[in-house]
Amino acid sequence: MEKQAPTPEEIAEENRRLRLLRFMVDFTISLMYQTNLTREEALEHFEKVRDFALRLFPGKELAFELIYAPRFKRVIRDIYGYH
């Protein structure tokens, strides 16, 4: 059985969720750079964004780990050094 192509509405909804996720990632990274968060607080924000992403895209843990986690890890390393 072949998988049906997504409808224009499904594509639009996925694009909306992707834009929302990108906004949250960018906003959180800006927050990390522009405020005096502790390392633990920054890690909490990372986890909250990860949870948010997985609510938007259930079952896509690997995609988050490949696409967004390296950005967060790089920012945390830039700000707080290696731990």
Tens digits of residue pLDDT in 20-60: 999 999 999 999 999 999 999 999 999 999 999 999 999 99
Position 74 in a domain: yes
Position 71 in a domain: yes
pLDDT at 1 > cutoff 70? no
C-beta of residue 2 within 8 angstroms of C-beta of residue 41? no
C-beta of residue 20 within 8 angstroms of C-beta of residue 66? no
What pLDDT shows up at residue 10? 96
Provide the number of structural domains found in the chain.
1
Query: What are the tens digits of pLDDT across the range 74-83?
Result: 999 999 997 6
Position 1 in a domain: no
Q: Global pTM?
A: 0.88
pLDDT at 69 > cutoff 70? yes
Cβ neighbours, 10 Å, residue 52: 16
Question: Domain containing 55: what range?
Answer: 10-80
